[in-house]
Amino acid sequence: MNGGPALVSIMRQGSTLIASVHTALNDSELVRFEHDLVDQIGEHRSRGVIIDVAALDVIDSFAALTLRRIAEMARLRGAQTVLVGIQPEVAFTMVRLGMGTGAVPTALDLEEGLALLAEQGSHHPRPDDPEA
Amino acid sequence: MQPEPEHDSAQSGPSGHLLSQLVAHLREHRTRLQEEWSQRIQQAHLLTAMTPQEMAAETTSVYDNYVEVLETGNVEALQHYAKDLSERIIPRGVETHEVVGIVLLLRDVLARSLFEKYQRDFSMLNEVLDAYEPAANRIANTVAVSFVDERERVIRQQQDAIRELSTPVLPVRERLLILPIIGVLDSERARQLTEQLLSGIRKHRAKVVVIDITGSPDVDESVANHLVQTVDASRLMGASVIITGLSPKIAQTLVTIGVDLSKMNTIGDLQGGLEEAERLLGYTVTRKEVSTSS
């Protein structure tokens, strides 16, 4: 599960984790990504997670499910997840196949995702967050 | 490279020699033959969309091109000319049968002049016609094909234009798009609408989209479903959609098909939709007091 280089880079930006998916992931790679990301949320005490899927031209049902699971787990560990960069064709295909993102908020791109998190985070500022 | 036999026959050999003789004949009697040709065109009521001056100019250049191709056997220049000619005359409403007709008339006029010239020497006439006919037919073919190609190109261009115009995506303010839909929304248009809307959202970085269907009287069930899916897909791209101007009939369809409409943001008319969009985007529009100084 932990072998090979990471196919998703997870970067820390303040209290936000930014995960960019660079290439199509198979099921075991998705599981590994889920594992890594949820681990790092605790490690960095992140309050927000942005998953950028702009490089994906296919999101299958397992990927959609995994993304929803990640968001739910992140929420349980205290971070709000935003899904960004869904391509037009991907968005329509997902809807056609009846796989939405559930309760996970979406935004156009990274910039919009950060803005959305900032907006939501401002309602619940963390006492020790220097940016708040 | 294999030598093209047709080119060769035009340049050399016995038929080549005949062709150059023929070309010399056609050049010599250019004015008379061209005059005869123009008369035949008028008698056949072709090219009625053109003025006599235009016709004289066009027939002259067609004649010269025709003779030149007979001489060189090079069809490329003719193709180019025919394309150019088609571009000029298609907007004037010239039809395919007219273009083919005038080229065939020219072929016949020239053939007649050959009969006349070689009437005393039947075997010679045969040889001349052997050289002339394939070249003439090739010219007629080339012109007709070029004309039809050009027409098809124009039609394709117009189809693209209509397709784009039928579902305009208009940015009204920063991050706000409007999609006015006029006329019946069939499944093909609905598909285009989705495509254009989703790419428009990305291009204009839209956050709010107002789809106004005041101008659309009715939708069928599949299109209504498609519309709902488009709204969901837009949400996945981070844009919220407001639908305005739902007619009673469409409202009924949407309710009857039983899609989940709780997430659909609908507002009665376009004005209300724009106000809501501005609210979502944080715009406040205030009317400036107009000072009426006397």
Position B179 in a domain:
yes
Position A111 in a domain:
yes
B122 plus B178 within the same structural domain? no
B71 plus B152 within the same structural domain? yes
B133 plus B213 within the same structural domain? no
B245 plus B102 within the same structural domain? no
Say which CATH number the domain at B117 has: 1.10.490.70
Position A128 in a domain:
no
From the list B199, B232, B235, the residue facing A88 with the nearest CB is B199
| B interface test, pick of A68, A90, A92 with most B CB neighbours within 10 Å | A92
Task: Please give the tally of structural domains in chain B.
Answer: 2
B121 plus B77 within the same structural domain? yes
CB pairs < 8 Å spanning A and B? 52
Please check whether residue A94 is in contact with residue A100, taking contact to mean a CB–CB distance below 8 angstroms.
yes
Residues from chain A that touch B201, judged by Cβ atoms under 8 A, are 88, 108
Position B287 in a domain:
no
Instruction: Test B236 with A94 for CB contact under 8 angstroms.
Output: yes
Residue range(s) defining the domain that contains residue B118 = 5-161
Position A125 in a domain:
no
Position B293 in a domain:
no
User: Residue B240: beta bridge partners?
Assistant: B208
Local confidence pLDDT in tens for the 294 residues of chain B: 444 444 444 444 556 677 788 888 888 888 888 888 888 888 888 877 778 888 888 888 888 888 888 888 787 888 888 888 888 888 888 888 888 888 888 888 888 888 888 888 888 888 888 888 888 888 888 888 988 998 899 888 888 888 777 788 899 999 999 999 888 888 888 888 898 899 999 999 999 999 998 888 777 778 888 888 899 899 999 999 999 988 888 888 778 877 667 777 889 899 999 999 999 998 888 888 776 655
Q: How far is CA A81 from the centre of its chain?
A: 5
Position B292 in a domain:
no
Q: How far is CA A127 from the centre of its chain?
A: 24
Domain boundary among B138, B161, B184: B161
Instruction: Test B237 with A106 for CB contact under 8 angstroms.
Output: yes
| B interface test, pick of A96, A108, A110, A116 with most B CB neighbours within 10 Å | A108
B112 plus B46 within the same structural domain? yes
Task: Tell me the H-state helices in A9-129.
Answer: 27-44, 61-76, 88-96, 110-121
Say which CATH number the domain at B197 has: 3.30.750.24
B33 plus B73 within the same structural domain? yes
Position A127 in a domain:
no
Say which CATH number the domain at A50 has: 3.30.750.24
Residue range(s) defining the domain that contains residue A35 = 8-118
Task: Please give the tally of structural domains in chain A.
Answer: 1
What whole-number distance in Å separates Cα of residue A81 and Cα of residue A73?
10
Domain boundary among B94, B128, B161: B161
Domain boundary among B144, B161, B178: B161
Residue of B nearest to A111 (CA): B205
Residue of A nearest to B232 (CA): A95
